[in-house]
Amino acid sequence: MNTPRWFAPLLFSLVIVGARAAATPLAITTPMIAPEWAKLERQLLAENVPACREFAEKYYDARGYVQCFIRWGANDGPDDAFENFAGWPELHALGASEDIARIYARTWEGMIRQYSEAKTTEVPAGRDGMYFKEFSAQSDWMHHGEGLRCFNLMGLSMPRLPAYQARVRRFAGLYMGEDPAVPNYDPKLKLIRSMQNGSKGPMLRPATALDWVGDPFDLTGFKLGHGERTYAEFLDHYRDYTEVVGDHFINLVATVLPANAYFLTHEASYKTWIVDYMDAWLARMQQNGGVIPSHVGLDGKVGGADGRWWSGAYGWGFSPVNPVNGKGENRNRIARALVGFNNALLVTGDQKYPDAWRKMADAVNAHARTVDGQKEYPTMYGASGWYGWQRTPWAIGALETWYWSQRGDDRARFSRNEWVDYLEGNNPDYAETALRRDLASITRKVQTFRADDSRPDKRLADNMMDANPAATAALVQLMWGALIPGREGGLLNARLRYFDPEQKRAGVPDDVGALVSEISATRTVVTLVNLSATAPRTVVVQGGGYGEHRIETVELGGVATRVGAGTFSVRIAPGAGAKIALTMKRYVNAPTVVFPWDRL
């Protein structure tokens, strides 16, 4: 097996389930003048690598430790240090150099050690380490998700790493009752017992500002990214973040941990946990007029003993005062809950999960009002009823719901979107425009971090986040036909992915470009091209980010070939290319992170 050398010592046996790629590849032999989009894709894959390498060398040492002032907290804590590598796993999975995976894996290991060694003095949960059992000791799933956003996408191209495989199982176990010292989950009532949870278990008391902010420190000389000017203002920012006991819709992001484990192993217990937990939430939505509550009591009742279903930090009624400007700010973080609906769809293929989100949008918008002849729609709910009015319908999750369902009525729920317009044939210049925009962003980010003269002891973990040069948005949309992964820590939603059977790795082979130009409920159109003038290339095409879509037929040159599997292979002659049309059945295969040639 022609395995990249740095992976070779990391392989070990694994039970795998899936459909094997077709033994005889389809052949693309028709010459194609090299499209500009394909040249831009290859340029973008190449130019990302030295920029990312330089970024890592500036801000991380040889051990992989981040070079900053290490703190606990929601403003500048461990999640930000890990999030500095956003886009790197996708970049490698698209086909960028092995350097990306090598550097990322080193820093990932280094930061786990670094934050396990780092301890708080005043914050109770962090006194044994900000990371404990290699996982965040205690936090909410907005910040857990951000800290895990790269880890959760490692399976796209690094599922063979023993450390990844071990942690995938162990992290899922923290929420499945496998560790008796970490009682995050109530298996009888199907609820996570607190909004603040982690490897130290659930917080079953009101949270304090200190729990959120971290130990006191001298702010002199630091660049503060959230507007606060003093440590007292740090505390004031989180004074109202007290209600954390009981389950909360933000905990739905936790479903990503058993999803990771299920995609790796296909052990039924992981899927069962996701379905049980998500179906309990769907039942709560039905009890609450179709709207997902932000508070479920420890007794399993929507809203707890007093029925305040809208309560809780980051909930429907959460509008704390910003100490910097003295104004209340609406901070309903319901968008994070989409992760749970997505994971349930991926493991079951059941459209009842998008249906529930769609019905919630209808339920919220049904409370619209008319003021001076203008219709207004709510975004928040509190003790006095609906508030947070806006002049457009509540449409959080509309893009995702459409992507999952491919229904016309879901498309009507959101308006202009450059990428969707392109897929619909209404934005023909989008591919080249988006790729050039990402190339320009690499240059801009490199200039930014090169100009950064901050000292490590006066640098916070989030200071360098906006200088991360990894530019993957256009590649993800155009090559995979995918939604851009966000900060919430969810998994990939993609129409296609690619593998290199000769190098035995994820991503397109050298010189290959791919452009998804059309998607529907049953059809995908992609152009594949080989820019090499001398060497043929073979690419394995997979339906879905995790093989969840079955490819029924491939039409090439007017001839339809039966596939009936999750993958097929294409051999592309030098300088050749073609547009191919696939018919597909979506969400019918068990998702997997196992490479196609390793599946039984």
Which H, E and C letters describe 168-214, residue by residue?
A: HHHHHHCCCCCCCCCCCEECCCCEECECCECCCCCCCCCCCHHHHHC
The CA distance from 169 to 186, in Å, is: 19
- Is the CATH code 2.60.40.1180 the one for domain 8-30+495-598? yes
**Tens digits of pLDDT across the chain (600 residues):** 333 333 433 332 223 233 344 457 899 999 999 999 999 999 999 999 999 999 999 999 999 999 999 999 999 999 999 999 999 999 999 999 999 999 999 999 999 999 999 999 999 999 999 999 999 999 999 999 999 999 999 999 999 999 999 999 999 999 999 999 999 999 999 999 999 999 999 999 999 999 999 999 999 999 988 888 899 999 999 999 999 999 999 999 999 999 999 999 999 999 999 999 999 999 999 999 999 999 999 999 999 999 999 999 999 999 999 998 999 999 999 999 999 999 999 999 999 999 999 999 999 999 999 999 999 999 999 999 999 999 999 999 999 999 999 999 999 999 999 999 999 999 999 999 999 999 999 999 999 999 999 999 999 999 999 999 999 999 999 999 999 999 999 999 999 999 999 999 999 999 999 999 999 999 999 999 999 999 999 999 999 999 999 999 999 999 999 999 999 999 999 999 999 999 999 999 999 999 999 997
What's the predicted TM-score (pTM) here?
Answer: 0.95
Q: Which helix (H) or strand (E) holds 255?
A: none
The b/e string for 137-176 (b: 16+ C-beta within 10 A; e otherwise) is bbbbbbbbbbbbbbbbbbbbbbbbbeebbebbbbbbbbbb
280 Cβ neighbours under 8 A, 6+ residues apart: 189, 190, 191
Residue whose structure tokens are 């991360």: 468
CA-wise closest residue to 358 among 294, 415, 291, 416: 291
Strands 567-572 vs 26-28: parallel, antiparallel or unpaired = parallel
Structural tokens at position 197: 């949870």
Dihedral sign for Cα atoms in the order 158, 446, 422, 353: positive
Burial of residue 310 (CB within 10 Å: 0-12, 13-18, 19+) is buried
577 Cβ neighbours under 8 A, 6+ residues apart: 28, 30, 31, 32, 35, 38, 513, 527, 528, 529, 530
Q: State the greatest distance between any 2 C-alpha atoms of the chain, in Å, as a whole number.
A: 72
